[in-house]
Chain A
Amino acid sequence: MDIDTQIAEWRTYLTSRREVVTPDVDELESHLRDQVDTLRAVGLDDDEAFLVAVKRLGGIDELTREFAREHSDRLWKQLVATPDSEAAEAGSWMMLGWAVLAAVVVQIPRLVQPDLDAAGSFYLRNAALLVLPVVAGYFAWKRRVPPRRLVVPASAFVAGAVLANAYPYVRFGSTEVLTGIHLTIVLWLVFGTVYLGGQWRVRRMDFVRFTGEWFIYYVLIALGGGVLTVLTIEVFAAIGVQVESFVFNWVLPSGAAGAVLVAGWLVEAKQAVIENMAPVLTKVFTPLFVAMFLASVGAMIWTGHGIDQSRDVLILFDVLLVVVLGLLLYSISARDPLAEPAVSDVLQVVLVVAALVIDVLALVAILGRITDMGFTANRTAGLGLNLVLLVNLAWSAWLSIGFLRGHRPFGDLERWQTAYLPVYLIWAILVVAVLPPVFGFS
Chain B
Amino acid sequence: MRIAKDLMAASATPIVLAILSEGESYGYAILKRVHQLSGGELAWTDGMLYPLLHRLARLGLASAAWRSPDGRRRRYYVLTDRGRRALEEHRRQWDLVSGVLRGAWHQARSLPAPGMP
Task: Report the Cα distance A15→B78, complex, angstroms.
Answer: 27
Nearest CB of chain A from residue B3's CB, rounded to whole Å: 16
A66 to B73, CA, bound (A): 23
Q: Mark A20-63, 1 if CB is under 8 A from B, else 0.
A: 00011011101101110000000000000000000011100011
| Residues on A with beta carbons closer than 8 Å to the beta carbon of B54 | 24, 67, 70-71, 338
Once A and B bind, how many residue pairs between them come within 8 Å at the CB atom? 80
B10 → chain A closest CB, angstroms: 16
| Other-chain residue from A66, A71, A337, A340 in contact with B47 (beta carbon distance below 8 A) | A66
The range of chain A's interface size is 20 to 34
Once A30-B73, A58-B45 are accepted as A-B contacts, the answer to whether A409 and B27 lie under 8 Å apart by CB is no
Check B58–A409 contact: CB distance below 8 A: yes
List chain A residues, Cβ under 8 A from B81: 407
Asked whether, in the complex, the Cβ of B57 is within 8 Å of the Cβ of A409, the reply is yes
**B48 neighbours in A (Cβ, 8 Å):** 58, 62-63, 66
Q: Which of B45, B47, B50 has the most CB of A within 10 A?
A: B47
> Is B6 in the interface zone, CB < 8 Å from A?
no
B35 CB to closest chain A CB (Å) equals: 11
A30 and B74 in contact (CB under 8 A), knowing A70-B55, A409-B59, A411-B60?
Answer: yes
Residues of B within 8 A of A26 (CB): 73, 75
Bound state CA distance, A69 and B54, in angstroms? 11
Q: A27-B75, A340-B64, A411-B58 are in contact. Are A34 and B28 (CB under 8 A)?
A: yes
| Cα of A395 to Cα of B28 in the assembled complex, Å | 38
Q: A34-B28, A35-B28, A35-B46 are known contacts. Are A406 and B63 too (CB-CB below 8 A)?
A: yes
8 Å CB contact of A57 from B46, B51, B57:
B46
A71 partner residues in chain B, CB cutoff 8 A = 51, 54
| Residues on the A chain within 8 Å of B5, using CB | none
Q: Is residue A275 contacting chain B, with contact meaning CB distance below 8 A?
A: no
Interface pair B50/A30, CB less than 8 Å apart: no
Q: Which residues from chain B contact A67 at a C-beta distance below 8 Å?
A: 50-51, 54
Residue of B nearest to A65 (CB): B51
A30/B58 in contact, CB under 8 A: no
CB distance from B79 to the nearest CB of A (A): 13
A406, B50: Cα distance in complex, Å: 21
Least CB distance from A417 to B in Å reads 15
> Once bound together, how far apart are the Cα atoms of A35 and B47, in whole Å?
12
Residues in A whose Cβ lies below 8 Å from that of B58: 70, 337-338, 409, 411
In the assembled complex, the Cα of A290 lies from the Cα of B72 at a distance in Å of 38
Q: Which residues of B are found within 8 Å of A117, using beta-carbon distances?
A: none
CB-CB < 8 A to B51: which residues of A? 66-67, 69-71
Q: How far is the CA of A57 from the CA of B49 in the complex (A)?
A: 9
Does B65 sit at the interface, judged by CB under 8 A? yes
Q: Among B27, B52, B55, point to the contact of A27 (Cβ < 8 A).
A: B27
- Residues on B with beta carbons closer than 8 Å to the beta carbon of A69: 51
Residue pairs across A and B with Cβ atoms less than 8 A apart, 9 shown, are A23-B75, A26-B73, A30-B72, A35-B46, A70-B54, A340-B64, A406-B63, A408-B82, A412-B60
- Nearest 8 CB-CB pairs, A to B? A409-B60, A58-B45, A70-B51, A57-B47, A34-B28, A58-B47, A63-B47, A66-B51
